[in-house]
Amino acid sequence: MSYKQVSLVFCGYMGIIMSSYLLLSLLFGLSYGSSEFVAWRLPFSALATLLVIIFSWRNKKRLAYRFPVKQKLSFWGIGIVLPFLIVGFFWLKHFTFSWPFLVPILTTILVGLGEEFLFREIMLSVFLSKMPIPKAILFSSMVFGLSHLVALLGGSPLKQVLIQVLLATLMGVFYGFLYLLTQRIGLLALDHFFWDYMLVGGALRHYPLIAFVIPILLILRIIMIIVMVVFSKREVSHEAID
């Protein structure tokens, strides 16, 4: 698959997201992150996610990548434990079958699916087939991080958006190596969902102490990145020798 085709699906996905931000912010005056913004963003997220999933499905053979490392699902299990426990605890205490409660769940599921299919299943797979692993993961992570500049269109402050871009780039590296080692895009989308929902689904609002857990989780993921880099480098070396 060519870079041009990847660029086209990327522009299609981002075009839908950017249009939704401009429409909701400029025409309807909704602020980024508000419950109304999240609710009205839902159909746009569904459309953008459907676009990349259909593209991935139709080009499944062309996106096939022979992973040069052994599958290691334990990395996914380690990373998802705390976000899962936090979200699970919040749901046990507050879950209701109401539209205001379900909207953040649906939105973060769609974001997790859409971004993982676009930036890992499609973009990273193509990059991996054309360049060394570290370079492919770094480039795809940078594009992933920079894509979060779209929040500026929703009225988010520049400082907040720049922090979001840096954190998203870091998470892109994490998900890049996690994809390399788990080789399961569905698992990445599930982790992505739990992480996003933990931050925006209401748990922080009800339990402010969770804010102190977030830096610990980030440090844990940085440590996991280092471990995954070492593990994948060793596996690639063994594959080359064999």
Give the start-to-end residue ranges of the domains of the chain. 3-241
The pLDDT assigned to 30 comes to 83
Question: Region 6-17: what's the mean pLDDT?
Answer: 96
The pLDDT assigned to 235 comes to 83
The two tokens of residue 25 are 């912010």
Percent of residues, the chain, with pLDDT higher than 70: 98
The two tokens of residue 153 are 């269109």
**DSSP secondary-structure letter at 30?**
P
Query: What's the pLDDT tens digit per position in 151-210?
Result: 998 888 999 999 999 999 999 999 999 999 999 999 999 999 999 999 988 898 899 989
Give me the chain's average pLDDT, please. 92
Report how far residue 111's alpha carbon sits from residue 188's, in angstroms, rounded to the nearest whole number: 12
- Tally helices (H) and strands (E) across the chain: 10, 0
Output the 3-class SS for 96-145.
CCCHHHHHHHHHHHHHHHHHHHHHHHHHHHHHHHHCCHHHHHHHHHHHHH
Short-list 28, 44, 240, CA closest to 155? 28
The pLDDT assigned to 155 comes to 84
Distances (CA, A) of 2 to 5, 116, 138, 143: 5, 19, 19, 17
Query: Does residue 241 surpass a pLDDT of 70?
Result: no
Report how far residue 190's alpha carbon sits from residue 168's, in angstroms, rounded to the nearest whole number: 16
Count the neighbouring beta carbons within 10 Å of the beta carbon of residue 16: 21
Q: 242 pLDDT band (50/70/90 cuts)?
A: low
Distances (CA, A) of 119 to 1, 37, 84, 203: 15, 24, 23, 27
DSSP-derived 3-state class of residue 25? helix
Query: Does residue 237 surpass a pLDDT of 70?
Result: yes
∠ at Cα 55 (201, 133), nearest 5°? Answer: 80
Query: What's the pLDDT tens digit per position in 26-42?
Result: 888 888 878 888 888 99
Query: What's the pLDDT tens digit per position in 40-78?
Result: 899 999 999 999 999 999 998 889 888 888 899 999 999
Report how far residue 57's alpha carbon sits from residue 104's, in angstroms, rounded to the nearest whole number: 26
Count the neighbouring beta carbons within 10 Å of the beta carbon of residue 28: 10
pTM above 0.85, yes or no: yes
Could you list the beta-strand ranges (E) of the chain.
none
